[in-house]
Structure 1
Amino acid sequence: MNYPIKSIANILHITNDAAMVKNLAASFPGNDFLAWEDALYEGPINTEMDLAQLSDMRANFFSERGGLAREEIRQRYQTRNTQLLAYQEYAEVVLWFDKDLNSQLQLIQLIEWFSRQKMANTILSLISFETMAKEPAYFGLAMLTSHQLQTLMSKRWEVTWGQMSLCQQAWHALGSENPNALVRLCDVNTAMMPYMKNAILRFLRQFPSQANGLSHSEFLISHALLRQQHELNDVYLVMQAKEGTPFVNQAIYCSYLQNMCSGELPMIEQQSIDNEDLLEDEVVVELKMMLKLTDLGRQVLHNWVDWVQVRGINRWLGGAQLSEGNLWRYDQTRRRLIKTYV
């Protein structure tokens, strides 16, 4: 049985990004903090690898995709992992993760990892914010005041073996070559991890749609341009607003755009006002670039043309490498993945 934990000394707080770390550091001086930064909704996941091997795999993926120095990315992972591996130096590790897709995938990864460690005298606890999340004014943990964070801290709970077992199942489903393992997971009672099911369902929508070959993120981007052209940053803001619980960072957003704007038959045309590149050092530069939906883009949005058939595909989502010979599409109506051929 889990129970509220009262001590606030010698604690490592783990959360999803550096911005949240700053908020926590201001609220809990004297503690240590770790940002578990990894966009797990993109790129390969091999659950048979140890943490170091998986980190190297993901460093390779992001260096090849984003044009960043592999060693620089690799060092970031190593620094992050080194701090995690020192968990036994703390009396407690507290997990602060929101309900969006990326936060939930990171939480699944971490709880699964801790489930295989010798905790000794270290307590693993989880912030519970279900009551606060139901309030209309709730926009995420990162927007909470110091007082609100301290209130949540006082109501944290120790992670149970049931939660660990569920995260083990979810992590291995995420890394499976057959992504229908994730579909089956949605039929399991996941109430002890209240945001897991919605996160998994959202991840499934990143697979190409059965209707037109677009992932849901690609659909939101192109749909924002259906009526008129917009600046690149405005499209990003519209996509985030339509998402409900946004999770796509700007670098990943720009990689989606690059795919949709490139090739002989692009979905989106771009006109750079300042002749700037889409990406610079993993962040978006001054986003003074106009985007316009092409005729092909409109045909795809109306389900008259299939984007995968036009563009082809070579993409990793978890343990599934999507290609023309190994293509999984998501049927939103049935909430099922269907294996097809281009």
Structure 2
Amino acid sequence: MNRLIITNGDMAAERIQTLQPEVTVLPWRDVLHDGPLGDFDRLQDQSIHRAAFIAEFADMAPEDVVRDFEHRDQVFLQAGSYERVELWFEQDLYDQLQLLQIIDAACKQLPDTSLYVVQADTYLCELPDMEFAALPSHARLLSKAQKDYAVKAWAAVVSEDWPFADQVEAPLPYVPSALKRLQGERQDFPLSLYYASRPLLEGPMKVKEMFRAMQAAEEAKFMGDLSFYHLLKGYLAAPDPLFKSAYQDGMDYMDFFNLDVSLTDKGTEALKAFSVSL
């Protein structure tokens, strides 16, 4: 059978390709919880909208980002030529946003293409080999109700309107918790920063220790080290900072993660006030 599998990134794609070398695998390379999102009817327009941000975010040449998005979108828009299209995604915010974007784009641009979804409640690359090999048997055809829900949920993400975050049950079961987590990230004091910095109330830590503390606090880890680097860097470089460190603009990436960080008086007050508000 001529199959296309779309999944969350290169590591999962490589594992799928090793297991099923005859299948076309498309990694969806975009950190949708970071940077601008627009209300577009075409996937290609969203890609153009995000290209400059991703180039700066990932320190890539803009033309390379544009080329990568164009290739991804071309493969996606040819999905109707495959006998079967499967979406393999995990339960965390990173994956659920990608899943919503893909379903929304398919509904708008490939309305006659059937989609099957494989939802894992853990991380694809952490599954034992036997469980990973069994995933194709768990693929389920997306219903109209699921597609309609995904389109509405994606519109909520783009507009930052959050009614879906309070649902107990949903046609796509991991979306409500993902949107609630996104809501926590888009507030004035991001929840990731709170998770990372609350151990500083006990004393200084290195940035890499803050990153590990943040990941350990998440019910479903979604933020990679590059996203955390950009998040924390903005706060370390602020004119009236919450944190004390020896941060210098343009410093080496590895040196950044070895920085020692402590709270300023303002940071201590902000952290305690945020804790009370939770």
TM-score of the alignment, normalized to the shorter chain, above 0.5: yes
Paired position in structure 2 for 1:126: 117
Deviations 1:30-63 (A, max 9, x none): 1111111111112221123521121111112233
Identity %: 25
Q: Which whole-Å CA distance do the structure 2 matches of 1:59 and 1:216 have between them?
A: 26
Q: Do 1:261 and 1:267's aligned partners in 2 also have CA atoms closer than 8 Å?
A: yes
Superposed, which structure 2 residues align to 1:201-280 within 5 Å? Answer: 201-208=180-187, 213-271=188-246, 277=251, 279=253
Range with greater deviation from structure 2 (34-43 or 220-229): 220-229
Q: Do 1:23 and 1:146's aligned partners in 2 also have CA atoms closer than 8 Å?
A: no
Match of 2:20 among 13, 28, 32: 28
Name the structure where helix makes up a greater proportion of residues: 2
Q: Which whole-Å CA distance do the structure 1 matches of 2:206 and 2:176 have between them?
A: 34
Deviations 1:261-302 (A, max 9, x none): 0132212223379x98354xxxx6783322222222112112
Match of 1:87 among 79, 82, 102: 79
The answer to whether residue 267 in structure 2 is matched with residue 292 in structure 1 is: no
Question: How many pairs were matched up?
Answer: 277
Match of 2:91 among 74, 99, 124: 99
Superposed, which structure 2 residues align to 1:298-309 within 5 Å? Answer: 298-303=268-273
Query: 5+ unaligned residues in a row in structure 2: which ranges?
Result: none
Paired position in structure 2 for 1:163: 146
The answer to whether residue 102 in structure 2 is matched with residue 110 in structure 1 is: yes
Q: Do 2:4 and 2:82's aligned partners in 1 also have CA atoms closer than 8 Å?
A: yes
User: Which structure exhibits the higher relative contact order, with contacts defined as CA atoms closer than 8 Å and separated by 6 or more residues?
Assistant: 1
Cα distance change, pair 63–224 in 1 and its aligned pair in 2 (3 A): farther
Query: 5+ unaligned residues in a row in structure 1: which ranges?
Result: 1-8, 134-138, 305-330, 334-342
1:64 is displaced (CA, Å) by: 4.7
